[in-house]
Amino acid sequence: MKAQPKASHFVDGAWLEDRAGAPVEVIYPATGEVIAVVHEATPAVIEAALASSARAQAAWAATRPVDRARILRRAADLIRERNPALARLETLDTGKPLQETLVADWPSGADALEYFAGLAPTVTGETIPLGRDFVYTLREPLGVCVGIGAWNYPSQIACWKSAPALALGNAMVFKPSEVTPLGALQLAEIYIEAGLPPGLFNVVQGRGAVGAALVTDPRVAKVSLTGSVPTGQKVYAAAAAGVRHVTMELGGKSPLIVFDDASVEDAVGAAMLGNFYSAGQVCSNGTRVFVQKGIKDRFLARLAERSARIVLGDPLDEATQMGPLVSAGQLEKVLGYIATGRAEGARLITGGARASLNTGYYVQPTVFADVTDSMTIAREEIFGPVMAVLDFDTEEEVLARANATDFGLAAGVFTADLARAHRVIAGLQAGTCWINAYNLTPVEAPFGGAKRSGVGRENGHAAVEHYSQIKSVYVGMGSVDAPY
Ligand code: NAD
């Protein structure tokens, strides 16, 4: 199986290769096969990307928002037309099953292009009367933005970052994760086909050092990172040196709280979606499932039954419900956490081992019960199909325990008592919450984290704040009253 792109990078409207950059092998996680090799961006490639973005951005900022919107909408149409092929490529790049990539990855990216195309022409300033004089405000683009992606939703991330950036008149240089470099290149080509002027969306490949070189370049006005907390801390600090704008979409260890009066079927279904979708490699997953003692036994029984029926297999078979983890390194990490869970005394309900399907990086959907707050699997982000179920007695107790973490990305509550649901949500320290649902992230809703899980928000109207800045203009309508 091969998925070799035409070149490693896409810069200034064209494919660009520079074999002097270190090679990065792209591995299909279901077989371990090398399906492509790309080269890390050299300083010359990075320079070409930043220079062309800076050149193109000023003219783009001067265009009418409706004209920008038309291009984004065309790009969204192209994505939808090509979704089957794009989904297949996403599956090869990530190992996620077609059953998911056909409906979740590029379709959600196309939603973002359509949403921000619609939103951009409605973004206006305000007029502030001051008697004789007045102030008006303009909402201006930031300039050249850098987007840095994680490997779990590579194409969705490229769309979620570039759509608001471009719609609001910015340019973007995007560096995908070195683990999943393929999808963003397709997006760059689609934008050009849709009529985007060259240079406004450039893709350069590379590991952390390439990202670091982009973040510190004086031409860069903003950095949007999706990644882990330790990387976020480094990138935020580097961006701070140049007082750059940032959006940080980082990790989580989110609580999903199930009260006694909840529908067991719905809560189990949500807990499974929130731990096993994308083989558990989702930042907002509800990996600490707090279950009230009154329904614990029924909840665990249904969870074990339904989890055991999950179909693992060839991700290219549309019947497959769960694919492998993204890499050998991630497989080792997740198996390590499972071993630690057992060693620290958590009770294994189902799964708990590598799935011996073929040479791929498969792990069985795994559920631990009787997990306590101090166990490693309840404290650290695992990023694999490993659910920790914890018990609780009272609302007050569960709220305190749910918040006892440095993370604050997401949270969910299942209960039939809506007053309680809103009360608990009000007390939860998390940026993205659900009531009787989990992990739905429509582009209309702001998405992002509190505490160490992030800064800023993607999607929704909130994203406008993060890809534009206000210019305030005082207009003097009379003579200048100077005392000297
Ligand atoms: P990672 O932190 O290892 O890497 C993220 C990106 O940062 C990669 O492109 C990497 O090359 C780049 N990078 C690494 N060091 C850098 C540096 N010093 N300067 C600039 N760039 C650098 O994360 P990952 O393993 O790719 O992804 C998994 C993590 O991402 C998890 O923690 C997950 O929770 C998080 N995530 C968050 C969200 C969200 O929206 N909050 C979404 C998806 C994933």
Q: pLDDT, tens digit, for every residue of 22-39?
A: 999 999 999 999 999 999
In ligand 1, which atom is closest to the CA atom of 177?
Answer: 9
**Whether the CB of 235 sits within 6 Å of ligand 1:** yes
Q: List, for residues 309-353, the tens digit of each pLDDT value.
A: 999 999 999 999 999 999 999 999 999 999 999 999 999 999 999
Task: Using alpha carbons, select from 244, 243, 225, 245 the residue that is nearest to residue 233.
Answer: 225
433 is annotated as an active-site residue: no
Residue 71 has pLDDT above 90, yes or no: yes
pLDDT above 90 covers a percentage of the chain that reads 99
User: Is residue 318 annotated as a catalytic residue, yes or no?
Assistant: no
In this predicted structure, what is the pLDDT of residue 281? 98
**Helix H or strand E encompassing 77:** helix 65-81
Instruction: Tell me the backbone φ, ψ of residue 134, rounded to 5 degrees.
Output: -155, 165
Residue 151 Cα to ligand 1 middle (Å): 8
Contacts of 483 (CB under 8 A, 6+ apart): none
How many whole angstroms from 328 Cα to the centroid of ligand 1?
A: 17
Mean pLDDT, the chain, as a whole number?
98
CA of 391 to the centre of ligand 1 (A): 31
- pLDDT per residue as tens digits for the range 135-178: 999 999 999 999 999 999 999 999 999 999 999 999 999 999 99
**Is 357 a residue whose pLDDT tops 90?**
no
DSSP 139-165: EEE-SEEEEE--SSSHHHHHHHHHHHH
Predicted confidence (pLDDT) at residue 356 exceeds the cutoff of 80: no
- Cβ–ligand 1 distance for 234 under 6 Å, the answer yes
- Nearest C-alpha to atom 22 of ligand 1 is from which residue? 208
Compute the radius of gyration of the chain from its Cα atoms: 23
pLDDT at residue number 81: 98
In this predicted structure, what is the pLDDT of residue 335? Answer: 98
- Counting from 1 in the atom list of ligand 1, the atom nearest the Cα of 207 is 11
CA 413 to centroid of chain Cα atoms: 22
> Which of the residues 189, 283, 296, 395 is marked catalytic?
283
Residue 149 CA to ligand 1 centre (angstroms): 6
Q: Among all chains, which residue has been given the structure tokens 């934008």?
A: 191
Q: Is 381 in the pocket of ligand 1 (CB under 6 A)?
A: yes
Torsion of CA 369, 375, 380, 382, to 10 degrees: -40
pLDDT score, position 1: 86
| 125 and 114 Cβ atoms separated by less than 8 Å | no
CA of 236 to the centre of ligand 1 (A): 12
Average pLDDT of the residues in 207-225: 98
Q: Is the CB of 409 under 6 A from ligand 1?
A: yes
pLDDT for residue 358 is more than 90? no
Q: How far is the CA of 196 from the centre of ligand 1 (A)?
A: 27
Q: Cβ(211) to ligand 1 under 6 A?
A: yes
Token pair listed for 350: 């189902």
Q: What is the DSSP letter of 282?
A: -
Phi–psi pair at 414, nearest 5 degrees = -115, 120
Say yes or no to pLDDT of 180 above 80: yes
Cβ 460 vs Cβ 431: under 8 Å? no
Q: Confidence class of residue 59 from pLDDT cuts 50, 70 and 90?
A: very high
pLDDT at 359 over 90: no
Model confidence pLDDT, tens digit, residues 380-439:
999 999 999 999 999 999 999 999 999 999 999 999 999 999 999 999 999 999 999 999
DSSP 348-393: EEE--SB--SSSS--B--EEEES--TTSHHHHS---SSEEEEEEES
User: Is the CB of 40 within 6 Å of ligand 1?
Assistant: no
Q: Whose CA is nearest to atom 23 of ligand 1?
A: 227
Specify whether 458 is catalytic.
yes
Helix, strand or coil, per DSSP, at residue 247: strand
Contact between 29 and 94 under an 8 Å Cβ cutoff? The reply is yes
Hey, what are 215's tokens? 């973040």
Which among 349, 256, 364, 260 has a CA at the least distance from the CA of 303?
349
pLDDT score recorded for residue 435? 98
Q: For ligand 1, say whether the CB of 375 is within 6 Å of any of its atoms.
A: no
pLDDT average, residue stretch 254-262: 98
What type of residue sits at position 74? R
